[in-house]
Amino acid sequence: MLEIQRLACAAVQNALAGRNLNQVLSDTWRKNTRLAPAERSAIQDLSFGSLRFYGLLDAVLRQLLLKPVVDEQVRVLLIVALYQLQYTRAKPFAIVDHAVSTVVKLGKPAAKGLVNAVLRNFLRQQETLLAGATTEEVAVFNHPAWLITKLKNQYPAHWQQMLSIAQSPPPMTLRVNARRCTVDTYLNQLKEQGIDAQHVGGEAVVLSHALPVDKVPGFADGIVSVQDASAQYAAGLLDVTSGMRVLDACSAPGGKTAHLLEKADVDLLALDSDAERLKRVNDNLSRLQLKAELKVADAAALDTWWNGQLFDRILLDAPCTGSGVMRRHPDIKWTRRPSDIGQFSVQQNRLLEALWPTLKVGGKLLYATCSVFGEENHNQIDAYLSRHGDARSLPLAGVTAIDGQIIPDDFHDGFFYALLAKI
């Protein structure tokens, strides 16, 4: 537990400092190659859990301290240990002892007494401390105050549901490769192996209990991929048919790219500005035995990649705040700032304006984000339509959404879609 606790603390501290938690954990695995799968899983659980419930844990810690802890490593260690005491089944005395040992290993032996006292006081006063934390909205909803206020204002009927969903672990959703298998056949295969799952529409299947990817039946063989149900709407909305020329403008990590190719034999160009992330697209396509042309490029810089040939379909899965997928990425809610929304809006508009001329008359462009903020979504599209008389908004067939916005629920991440036809 000692090493697990130490590495989880480092991951959480890096995430709170602004680094992407998934990337931090990937770096951790690379630097600590001897970690067993179970150890990796434990580190991931502590890291994600501590950030998922950070608002509550921080409120409890502030009650326990006579004065703020100046040392960030010590403070984060206390947050992680409080998460273990509150949400895991590990023995409390072992958690406390390991936390004391960890602070020594971090080179801060003077903090031993503080760590021991804080954690033992939590065990003695647990109910009172948790009740005291419920006076703070940040602790109740485990989101920063600005984000809670924003969701209240933009979603007066749904904000509590959205905040509640973001505090729960995400479902493990698979996309059945229609080229290789039917949903019914795959569900029967799962049943035969004692794996409980349900069909939630299209090619989407949700497992009742998450599995390591390498344990998912058919994954290695390209029968299924991991992809949220909301993200799976994209390929159907673009209604591609064989022979079409298609652009996936911001393609990494490649889930939607692959889904389009599973739907039809299209001539697909997949772009991404990040070469490392584009490698993930290539890996996904290789596993699924699919082919596309891949290019490292900024989609808005047409002169670096476009040959002048128009597209029948364009998927613009635009960079965004990720505010619709915070249950999958709990670090987002603590590292995003209100100013980020405007910066992403500028990027999104730049991409829309640049890509529209590459679309054929009669073609369709699907604008998508995994955000729930209106500035990135319906406000962005309304403004775009007001400037472009040759663009018309089309209905989102088969998608339950409010003005294009999918509200997060048990089976869906928060997502936005706008389907635009060129007339």
Q: What is the pLDDT of residue 70?
A: 80
Long-range CB pairs of 22-25 (<8 Å, 24+ gap) are 22/329
| The predicted structure's pLDDT at residue 2 | 85
Those residues with Cβ within 8 angstroms of residue 314's Cβ, 6 or more apart along the chain or in another chain: 246, 247, 249, 355, 358, 359, 363, 364, 365, 366
Query: Do 122 and 85 contact (CB within 8 A), yes or no?
Result: yes
Low-confidence stretches of the chain (pLDDT beneath 50): none
| 406 touches 371 (CB < 8 A) | no
Token pair listed for 387: 């400037």
Q: Which residues are catalytic?
A: 370
DSSP structure class, residue 302: G
Neighbours of 256 (CB within 10 A): 25
- Scanning 245-402, the segments in alpha helix (DSSP H) are 255-263, 275-288, 331-335, 338-355, 378-387
Predicted confidence at residue 285, as pLDDT, reads: 97
pTM: 0.95
How many other C-beta atoms lie within 10 A of the C-beta of residue 255? Answer: 22
